[in-house]
Amino acid sequence: MRINPDVSRVLHVDMTTGKAQILDFDSRARHMGGSGLAAALYEAYGTPSAPWDDPTEPIIFAIGPLTGLFPVMTKVVCGFRSPHTGQWTESHAGGRLGLSLRFAGYDALMITGRASALSALEVGSRSMQVHNVHYLRGRGVFGTGRELRRIGRHMSGHRSTMRIGPAGENGLSFACINVDSFRHFGRLGSGAVMGSKNLKGVVVTGDGAFELPGGDSKALNKLYKDSFMEVTSTSKMKKYHDLGTPENLEPLNELRALPWRNLQATSDPAISTVTGKYLAEEYLLRKAACAGCPVGCIHIANLRQQFGEDHEYLYKQVSYDYELIFAQGTMLGLSDPQDILPVLDETESCGLDSMTTGVALAWATEALAKGIISEEETLVPLQFGEVDGYLKALRLLTNAPNEFWHTLGRGGANAAAKKYGGEDFACVLGGQEMAGYATGEAYYVSHALGFRHSHLDSGGYSYDQSDKPKDAQKASDFLVSDERDRVIINSMVGCMFARKEYSLERMQECLHVAGFTALSDTLAQAGTDMQHLRWKLKFDTGFVPEEQTIPKRFMEVTNWKGQADPVYLQDLRNTYTNAIRTMAGAQGALE
C-alpha cells in the first residue's frame, strides 16, 4: 500500500458495536502526525464538555510520517482525556508499537465506545477482532501480556502488545498502559481510560507492507545513513546506551536537585548505591531498544529474590531509569536496589504510573509521620527507607479497601491532601505529581502550568541550570519556543533523546526525500498551529492556569542556587499564563 502524503489513514474502532472503519483524515500538511494528529482527531471527534470516561470520548494512538523511515523515529503518541486532571493530554511510548502500526498501514488507531465484557482488541492490516477476555479480570500486567501474545501468534509481522493491570480496570487516575513489557504510556491515567472502555489489551500486528508516497530513494538512503551516524556517534547518545538516564542521579544529587524523602532534602550521601554506575555494575542484565532505534537505552536489571529457606531463588527482569529510581527510590528514602527493584516490579504488575505512585506514597509517609493521618487510614506502617510497608501499600492503592486509599488512587496526593490536610508538602506541581528535578523557578512553572504537567513539555529544568538572568519574559519565551520545537518532533514521532540531532531543517529534508513535500513546506507553521490547538483543547476541557498550585515545599527546598525566588516565580507564572492563554485564544483573568 502506498502512503497517502496528504491525508492520515486512521482505523476507528467502536468498542460498543465491535465495528471498525477506516478514515482518510485531512490534512497531513496541517496536523503532521503524532501529537498534532491526535489533537486534530480530538478536535473532530471529541466532546470537551463530556466527562473523561464518557464512552464516546476517544483514546488515540498516533504515529508520524517518519515512523520507521529514519533512526529513532520510534515513538507513539497516546492522546486522551486524563482522569487525573479531566483535560486533554498525551503520553508517549516506544517499544514495537510504532513500527507495528506503520506495517499495519495506519497513521493512528482511534478507539471509542465501551465493550459489554472485558475485551482485547486485535488489529492487523486487513483484520480487526474483539476477543472476550473476562478471564483476565484482575490479572497483572505480566500474566496478561503472556495471554495476549497468544492471541496474536497466528499472524506474521511486527507485533506489539499493550495492556493494563488491575489499576486500570479499577479506574485509578494514574494507571498506565504497558507496551511490550518495558515501555509505558505512563503518566496521567491512560490505563484508566482503557479500563473505562472495558479494554484489557490491544495487539497490533504489522502484517502488511507499505510504499513511500514518492520522493527520492537515493537521497533517502543517504539521509538515513547520515542520520544514523549522527545518532550513534554523539557522546550524549552513547551515554543513554551506556549507563542510561540513571547516569544523571549522581550529578543531580551533587547539584542538590535530586528529591529525597518527599523532597525534604535534595541531596544525600546514600546516593552511592543508587548511581547509574552502581546499578550497571551490580544489577544490569541486558539492554534493549525500541524497534528502529540503534541506541538502545532501555536498561533491564536482574532481580534475584530468595523464597523459602533452601536456596530457592526467583529471577525477575525489571527495567529501571532515572525517573523510576527517583520516584520509588530516593523519594521514598530507599537507597538499596534490592529494595527499589521489587517495588518497581510490583508497581509494574499492578499497572500503575511509577512516578505518580512514588510521589503519592512519599506524601502519605510524611503525612503519617506528622499525624495528619494514622494507621487507621494507611492500614500498614509507612516509613521512609522501609520497603515492606511500600510493597503492601501498592496493593492497597490498587484495590482501595478504604476511603483513604480510594481517595489517594483517584486524584493522587493533591486529592488526599485536600481531604486530610498536608497540602504544603504534597509534591504536586499543577496537575500532576512532580518529576525528579528540584532545579528552580522555570521548572516549577513549566511543570505546574505545562501542557502535560511534565518535565517533557519544555526544557525548564535545563533553563534553570543555565546562567540566564532572572528575566520572566525571556524565560517564558524560551518555554513557548522550546515547546513548539518539541511539538514538531513529537508529531514525527521521534524519541526526545535525539531531538538535537533532528533540527527543523533536517526533519523538513527527511519529509521531502520521503515524498511528504506539502508537509515539508508547511512544517514550521504546522508546528505552531498544533501547539495552539493543543492549548485550546486543554482549556476547552477545563484547564484554569490560575488554579494550578506550587506548594510551599518547593519554596522551602535549597539547591545549588539557594531557595526559589518568590518574586521571579510569580512574575514568570503571570507571564507564562498570558502566553498560553494567547496561544489557546482563551480569555483570562490576567488579560
Residues 485/457, Cβ–Cβ less than 8 Å: no
Q: How many CB atoms are located within 10 Å of the residue 553 CB?
A: 21
Helix (H, G, I), strand (E, B) or coil at 560: coil
Residues 30/5, Cβ–Cβ less than 8 Å: no
Helical axes 354-369 vs 412-420, angle rounded to 10°: 20
Q: Nearer Cβ to ligand SF4, position 289 or 369?
A: 289
* Distance of alpha carbon 508 from alpha carbon 504, whole angstroms: 6
Question: Of residues 123, 303, 396, 495, which one binds ligand SF4 by CB under 6 A?
Answer: 495
Cis peptide preceding 274, ω within 30 of 0: no
- Burial of 273 by CB count in 10 Å (0-12 exposed, 13-18 middle, 19+ buried)? middle
Name which of residues 66 to 125 contact ligand SF4 (CB under 6 A): 72, 74, 94
Q: Which of 580, 589, 572, 578 has its CA nearest to residue 476?
A: 572
Question: Of residues 497, 524, 528, 588, which one binds ligand SF4 by CB under 6 A?
Answer: 497
H or E stretch covering 476: helix 472-492
Q: Nearer Cβ to ligand SF4, position 14 or 180?
A: 180
Residue the block writes with cell 507571564? 575
Minimum CB separation from ligand SF4 for residue 228, in Å?
A: 13
Number of residues that bind ligand SF4 (CB under 6 A): 13
Minimum CB separation from ligand SF4 for residue 494, in Å?
A: 8
- Residue 451 near ligand SF4 by CB under 6 A: no
Using the contact rule CB under 6 A, the part of the chain among 255-263, 295-303, 511-519, 567-575 near ligand SF4 is: 295-303
Minimum CB separation from ligand SF4 for residue 457, in Å?
A: 18
Backbone angles phi, psi at 212, to 5 degrees: -70, 155
- Residue 289 near ligand SF4 by CB under 6 A: yes
Q: Nearer Cβ to ligand SF4, position 74 or 267?
A: 74
| Amino acid identity for residue 310 in this structure | D
Minimum CB separation from ligand SF4 for residue 491, in Å?
A: 16
Minimum CB separation from ligand SF4 for residue 300, in Å?
A: 12
Using the contact rule CB under 6 A, the part of the chain among 24-32, 208-216, 289-297, 420-428 near ligand SF4 is: 289-297
- Residue 297 near ligand SF4 by CB under 6 A: yes
Minimum CB separation from ligand SF4 for residue 293, in Å?
A: 3
Q: Which of 168, 149, 169 has its CA nearest to residue 159?
A: 149
Question: Of residues 39, 295, 300, 359, which one binds ligand SF4 by CB under 6 A?
Answer: 295
Using the contact rule CB under 6 A, the part of the chain among 218-226, 286-294, 481-489, 516-524 near ligand SF4 is: 286-294
Which residues have CB under 8 Å from 456's CB, separation 6+? Answer: 92, 486, 496
Minimum CB separation from ligand SF4 for residue 254, in Å?
A: 25
Helix (H, G, I), strand (E, B) or coil at 264: coil
Question: Of residues 118, 298, 475, 507, which one binds ligand SF4 by CB under 6 A?
Answer: 298
- Residue 290 near ligand SF4 by CB under 6 A: yes
Residues 326/275, Cβ–Cβ less than 8 Å: no
Residues 322/249, Cβ–Cβ less than 8 Å: yes
Question: Of residues 293, 400, 417, 428, which one binds ligand SF4 by CB under 6 A?
Answer: 293
Q: Nearer Cβ to ligand SF4, position 321 or 457?
A: 321
- Residue 172 near ligand SF4 by CB under 6 A: no
Q: How many CB atoms are located within 10 Å of the residue 299 CB?
A: 26
Question: Of residues 42, 70, 80, 240, which one binds ligand SF4 by CB under 6 A?
Answer: 240
- Residue 349 near ligand SF4 by CB under 6 A: no
Helix (H, G, I), strand (E, B) or coil at 359: helix
Q: Nearer Cβ to ligand SF4, position 240 or 390?
A: 240
- Residue 231 near ligand SF4 by CB under 6 A: no
Using the contact rule CB under 6 A, the part of the chain among 291-299, 407-415, 501-509, 528-536 near ligand SF4 is: 291-299
Using the contact rule CB under 6 A, the part of the chain among 78-86, 105-113, 293-301, 512-520 near ligand SF4 is: 293-301
Q: Nearer Cβ to ligand SF4, position 297 or 557?
A: 297
CA distances from 15 to 91, 198, 202 (A): 22, 8, 12
For the chain, the straight-line distance linking the first and the last C-alpha, in angstroms and rounded, comes to 50
- Burial of 525 by CB count in 10 Å (0-12 exposed, 13-18 middle, 19+ buried)? exposed
Minimum CB separation from ligand SF4 for residue 135, in Å?
A: 32
Q: Which of 494, 463, 504 has its CA nearest to residue 71?
A: 494
Minimum CB separation from ligand SF4 for residue 479, in Å?
A: 23
Q: How many CB atoms are located within 10 Å of the residue 191 CB?
A: 35
Name which of residues 57 to 76 contact ligand SF4 (CB under 6 A): 72, 74
Q: How many CB atoms are located within 10 Å of the residue 554 CB?
A: 25
Q: Nearer Cβ to ligand SF4, position 287 or 561?
A: 287
287: left (phi over 0), alpha (psi -120 to 50) or beta: beta
Using the contact rule CB under 6 A, the part of the chain among 120-128, 197-205, 288-296, 312-320 near ligand SF4 is: 288-296
Binding residues for ligand SF4, per CB under 6 A? 72, 74, 94, 240, 289-290, 293, 295-298, 495, 497
